[in-house]
Chain A
Amino acid sequence: MNLPLLIASGIRITTPILLAAMGGVFNQQVGLMNIGLEGLMLLSAFSAAVVGFRTQNIILGIFSAILTGIIFALLHVFFVIKLKANLIIVGIALDLLAVGLSGYFLQIIFGVKGIFSSPRIPRLSPLIRIGIMSEFDILVYMSWFFVLLTAIILYKTRYGLRMRACGENLEAAFSLGIKVDFYRYTSYIISGILCGLAGSYLVFTLQIFSKNITAGRGFIAFASVLFGSANPLLTSVACLIFGFAESLQIRFQSFVELPPQIIQMLPYLAVVIALALKNLRSEGV
């Protein structure tokens, strides 16, 4: 078995999941579970594909993906905060909206159904061309930088402290004079930016856009956040487990005894079991 290749592919598969999951960490910490990550990622990916293809400029593509991520993240949280919409239902609606809008405009703009692939979509190039590092572009490094940054923001800054206070007890935070809406909105802006990067990563590595390009990665990111109790470091470990499970399954099928469906199933099962065990322990106390 080719170990470096396995590690490289595991890390690459983890990258978009990790980026979106860090967005999810901010939302979870402020007390707003975000199951719309998948939709945000898909819409950003679409915007990255259109702008990247038209301008042949990867920076503009990423920029438009981030902007798209922010716009729809704000739409999501606006419905939740201002219009008192149900968080979960709006999240589900956002995922549906993303599939609909990207499919609709894919056909309107490119005249193709479901999938658009072109070598004229620009491609991210590796930052350092040594060993397995040559498999990694800038977003791979950035994703891990964001894990650190998230941890620092959440646990070492006043902004993070107040954000977590909102998540802990919104009314208490409000009565202490914390501008709760500011923290809730900004957590979604951050989430939009990170999902934008995640979407760009997919498009600018695969040089493709399809209606199912995200293929559940947003939900895996969401599961990772829950599994890691919204702690950035634990969440990143969960993302790695998901990423490597998939990399094992894709690249080394013949080496793995277990059927791929069972391997893919385990992380989801693990989230349920972890939650049950956590509550079992606290019940016992």
Chain B
Amino acid sequence: MNRTLIPKFKILNLGGILISIFAIFLAFLVGAMIMLFSGVSPLEAYYSLFVGAFGGWINFADTLFAATPLMLTGLATAISFRSGVFNIGVEGSLYLGAFASAWVGFTFTNLPSFVVIPFSLIFSMVVGGIWGYIPAILKVKLKVDEIVSTIMLNYVAILFTSYLVNYPFQVPGVANSMSERISKNAELPRLMRGSQLNLSFFIALALILIFYIVNSRTKFGYESKVCGKNMYFAKASGIDVDKIIITSMVLSGAIGGLVGALQILGVYYRFYDFFSPGYGSDGIPIAILSNNHPIGCLFVAILFGALRSGGSMMELMTGIPIDLSNVLEAVIIFFVTAKIILIFRKSKKGEVV
């Protein structure tokens, strides 16, 4: 029934946004139904969720804090999706980048902040980028499906970093598996008293702006978009498709690595094994909801951040489990992806004609 509506939306160029908002609205409706079914008041729940996320500066800062890693995993995923590469491997890059940055942080303890922080961040990006290169080269040279290889390589990366902190870099006399603490110089400064919001928020914001410009103003931005729309057409019109695939996977991996580093230097100050609650995989729905647009990633990440930071307030005030946030996110993804492919199909038909 939506089929006739979608092309019209596309002309308006507001379509993606409208459909995303509609999906979010539907998800909240489904969430309300689940709550009514389980005998709690949805209005009260959503009210406390909203207040918890946006009521007052501290709450708002906490929402931005929760949104920061999501902004970047969303961006990392969007960069690859936009080029038509289905990179699920941001989580793997994130773990390796996190460990790399922690290693710099606890090894070079004498360096001043303005040296050790950039060193640590760049090193994590290099490691993440190399990790992104592996599935890219497998795809280009051997046609190994990147969805499968990146899912598998995520486990390899997560288990490998767990090995690192349990064996070669084990801290003696500590029960949990963690690395040594990074030096004070490597910590990212907090922005506000009473909130964990730190410098990484502005780094994330800067990267979003950079990729907004890259996408709209550069040759890579244009070519990757053409690739994502139709790889055969891109090839036929002389675009080096392999290069685009590799570049976007490496960039995606590098940003994935950076997210890990920012979480270590800004939040955890150590590498713990299995520390990420799935920041990398959260990037996938964020990229889809934002239509792979960097600015979209910012807003969707803030929405997801709000669901999380507001969710804990909701649980505290009304006793409604925070797991509801996961349900809402999942339902949003269900509805949004249902629409995405309808557009995709339509344009495919157009090509044939």
A183 to B143, CA, bound (A): 28
A85 to B288, CA, bound (A): 12
Q: How far apart are A7's CB and chain B's nearest CB, in angstroms?
A: 25
A269 to B92, CA, bound (A): 13
Query: Could you give, for residues 243-273 of chain A, a 1 whenever the CB lies within 8 Å of some chain B CB and a 0 otherwise?
Result: 0000000000000000101101100110110
Residue A105 is within 8 A (CB to CB) of chain B in the complex:
yes
Chain B residues, Cβ within 8 Å of A99: 323, 326
Most chain A CB neighbours (cut-off 10 Å) among B142, B144, B323, B341: B323
Chain B residues, Cβ within 8 Å of A269: 152, 156
Chain B residues, Cβ within 8 Å of A216: 155
Query: Could you give, for residues 322-342 of chain B, a 1 whenever the CB lies within 8 Å of some chain A CB and a 0 otherwise?
Result: 011111111101100110111
Is A88's CB under 8 angstroms from B147's CB? yes
Residue A170 is within 8 A (CB to CB) of chain B in the complex:
no
A136 to B334, CA, bound (A): 39
Is B34's CB under 8 angstroms from A104's CB? yes
Is B327's CB under 8 angstroms from A97's CB? yes
Query: Could you give, for residues 83-113 of chain A, a 1 whenever the CB lies within 8 Å of some chain B CB and a 0 otherwise?
Result: 1111011101110110111111111100001
Identify A100's interface contact among B145, B151, B156, B330, CB under 8 A: B330
Known A96-B330, A97-B330; judge A272-B34 contact (CB<8 A).
no
What 8 new A-B contacts, CB under 8 Å, besides A259-B167, A262-B163?
A: A90-B334, A103-B326, A108-B39, A219-B155, A265-B159, A269-B156, A272-B149, A279-B144
Is B138's CB under 8 angstroms from A100's CB? no
- B interface with A by C-beta (< 8 Å): 34, 38-40, 86, 88, 138, 142-145, 147-149, 151-153, 155-156, 159-160, 162-163, 166-167, 281, 284-285, 288, 321, 323-331, 333-334, 337-338, 340-342, 345
Is A276's CB under 8 angstroms from B142's CB? yes
Chain B residues, Cβ within 8 Å of A89: 284-285, 288, 333, 337, 340
Chain A residues, Cβ within 8 Å of B160: 261, 265
A271 to B152, CA, bound (A): 7
Q: How far apart are A285's CB and chain B's nearest CB, in angstroms?
A: 13
Is A85's CB under 8 angstroms from B341's CB? yes
Is B321's CB under 8 angstroms from A93's CB? no
- A interface with B by C-beta (< 8 Å): 33, 35, 79, 83-86, 88-90, 92-94, 96-97, 99-108, 113, 216, 219, 222-223, 226, 259, 261-262, 264-265, 268-269, 271-272, 275-276, 279-280, 283
Give the top 5 A-B pairs by smallest Cβ distance, nearest first: A100-B326, A103-B323, A97-B330, A261-B163, A100-B327
Q: Which chain B residue lies CB-closest to A111?
A: B319
A280 to B142, CA, bound (A): 6
Most chain B CB neighbours (cut-off 10 Å) among A99, A101, A265: A265
Is A84's CB under 8 angstroms from B152's CB? no
Is B340's CB under 8 angstroms from A264's CB? no
A280 to B38, CA, bound (A): 54
* Total A-B contacts with CB atoms under 8 angstroms apart: 141
Chain B residues, Cβ within 8 Å of A264: 155, 159
Is B149's CB under 8 angstroms from A275's CB? yes
Q: How far apart are B46's CB and chain A's nearest CB, in angstroms?
A: 15
Identify A261's interface contact among B148, B159, B285, CB under 8 A: B159
Identify A96's interface contact among B138, B144, B329, B345, CB under 8 A: B329
Q: How far apart are B350's CB and chain A's nearest CB, in angstroms?
A: 16
Chain B residues, Cβ within 8 Å of A104: 34, 38, 321, 323-324, 326-327
A223 to B149, CA, bound (A): 10
Is A92's CB under 8 angstroms from B333's CB? yes
A83 to B341, CA, bound (A): 8
Chain A residues, Cβ within 8 Å of B288: 89
Is B38's CB under 8 angstroms from A105's CB? yes
A108 to B34, CA, bound (A): 11
Chain B residues, Cβ within 8 Å of A107: 321, 323
Is B153's CB under 8 angstroms from A272's CB? yes
Chain B residues, Cβ within 8 Å of A271: 148, 152
Q: Which chain A residue lies CB-closest to B315?
A: A107
8 residue pairs of the A-B complex, CB under 8 angstroms, read A84-B338, A89-B333, A92-B281, A99-B323, A100-B324, A100-B328, A107-B321, A226-B148
Chain B residues, Cβ within 8 Å of A219: 151, 155
Is A84's CB under 8 angstroms from B345's CB? yes
Q: How far apart are A150's CB and chain B's nearest CB, in angstroms?
A: 21
Is A93's CB under 8 angstroms from B159's CB? no
Q: Which chain A residue lies CB-closest to B160?
A: A265
Q: Which chain B residue lies CB-closest to A97?
A: B330
Identify B142's interface contact among A106, A222, A259, A283, CB under 8 A: A283
Is A93's CB under 8 angstroms from B166's CB? no
A283 to B331, CA, bound (A): 41
A264 to B325, CA, bound (A): 31
Identify A86's interface contact among B34, B321, B329, B337, CB under 8 A: B337
Is A108's CB under 8 angstroms from B38's CB? yes
Q: How far apart are A257's CB and chain B's nearest CB, in angstroms?
A: 12
Identify B337's interface contact among A93, A102, A223, CB under 8 A: A93
A83 to B326, CA, bound (A): 22
Identify A93's interface contact among B38, B142, B285, B324, CB under 8 A: B285
Is A100's CB under 8 angstroms from B329's CB? yes
Q: Which chain B residue lies CB-closest to A102?
A: B323
Known A84-B342, A103-B326, A265-B159; judge A272-B144 contact (CB<8 A).
yes
Q: Which chain A residue lies CB-closest to B144?
A: A275
Known A108-B38, A262-B163, A279-B144; judge A83-B152 contact (CB<8 A).
no
